[in-house]
Structure 1
């Protein structure tokens, strides 16, 4: 009888762990990039602790702005893959965690962390 109760308890705990949703993960830290606004001003864009595994179009360099962002700096704890086009399309380049960065020659419009 005790064996059956122990088995039921273990089975119940296993099922509970299996169906409990995992917490959403995020890259801790900041991702930065430079861009020129539509009005022609130099600006710095950033994402603080962005979600992982989700394509993010960078604010300020979307369809309204013909100029992409540049000089990305990955100061998060996750790899960042930057893309030359919106919706994580076009050419891509990976930036390592904490110290990854590129010059103004690298043009960016979207990024995914993970």
Structure 2
């Protein structure tokens, strides 16, 4: 009987610990991210409304070779944004606060939404 009590106590403790651990927060960024790029057809603006935090993302038009770089980042999200001069979040980094805008001089090829700090 003492062995059964030990097993039940251990199982209850494990369940309590499991329920006490925080669940994973949604990794989706709230808000919109805008940027511009230039290709053979002229200037374009992109509105991205589905972004993931904690993941490096290459600017599609740069990665595809349609544009040399993106520029004028506009961060209308609740997350801090890092933009990088090279693909795969390498090169020089520029930090854009939540709800902030960069300039045409802020040329970038990839970006990263910083997860909120607890």
TM-score after normalising by structure 2: 0.78
Q: What's the Cα RMSD here?
A: 2.6
Q: Identify the residue that residue 59 of structure 1 maps to in structure 2.
A: 60
The 1-side partners of 2:18 and 2:69 are apart by 48
1:14-53 aligned at under 5 Å gives the runs 14-18=17-21, 22-37=24-39, 39-53=40-54
Runs of 4+ in 1 over 6 A off after TM superposition: 4-7
Cα offset, 1:23, TM superposition: 4.3
Structure 1 alignment gaps of length 5 or more: none
Aligned length: 110
Cα offset, 1:6, TM superposition: 7.3
The 2-side partners of 1:76 and 1:50 are apart by 10
The 2-side partners of 1:87 and 1:72 are apart by 17
Structure 2 alignment gaps of length 5 or more: 1-5
The 1-side partners of 2:63 and 2:70 are apart by 9
Cα offset, 1:81, TM superposition: 0.2
